Amino acid sequence: GENVEQHPSTLSVQEGDSAVIKCTYSDSASNYFPWYKQELGKRPQLIIDIRSNVGEKKDQRIAVTLNKTAKHFSLHITETQPEDSAVYFCAASLASYDKVIFGPGTSLSVIP
């Protein structure tokens, strides 16, 4: 089955700096890659997603890139703010299976 790895597990950045989280997936058939932000005790919130027919997607301060050949995808957050502090999960999904497999998560701390 699909396996998603994520690095780093923890990340601290100064406010205003950029943060990058990287993920790899194992199943080349995966075609949907969402990123979620989860605050303590809350449900995951989708922040951005990308499909396998697209190499890059941007939404204001957040961007995601996908390298299908290498089976890598990354989340980039620019101009970080304290409210960006949370746990971020990458995930992968095979449309045919309709299930989302999560990476282990990255705890991001933005230091004011």
Partner 1 sequence: GAVVSQHPSWVICKSGTSVKIECRSLDFQATTMFWYRQFPKQSLMLMATSNEGSKATYEQGVEKDKFLINHASLTLSTLTVTSAHPEDSSFYICSARLGGNYGYTFGSGTRLTVV
Would you tell me which residues interact with partner 1 (CB under 8 A)? Answer: 1, 32, 34, 41-44, 46, 49, 51, 89, 98-105
- SS3 state at 21: strand
List of residues 6+ apart from 7 with CB closer than 8 A: 21, 22, 23, 106
Torsion-angle region of 71 (φ positive above 0: left; ψ -120 to 50: alpha; else: beta):
left
By CB atoms closer than 10 A (0-12, 13-18, 19+), residue 32 is middle
Q: Which is nearer to partner 1, 16 or 29 (CB)?
A: 29
Distance in Å, CB of 79 to partner 1, minimum? 25
Q: Which is nearer to partner 1, 102 or 109 (CB)?
A: 102
Q: Which is nearer to partner 1, 10 or 18 (CB)?
A: 10
110, amino acid identity: V
Distance in Å, CB of 49 to partner 1, minimum? 6
Distance in Å, CB of 58 to partner 1, minimum? 17
Distance in Å, CB of 102 to partner 1, minimum? 5
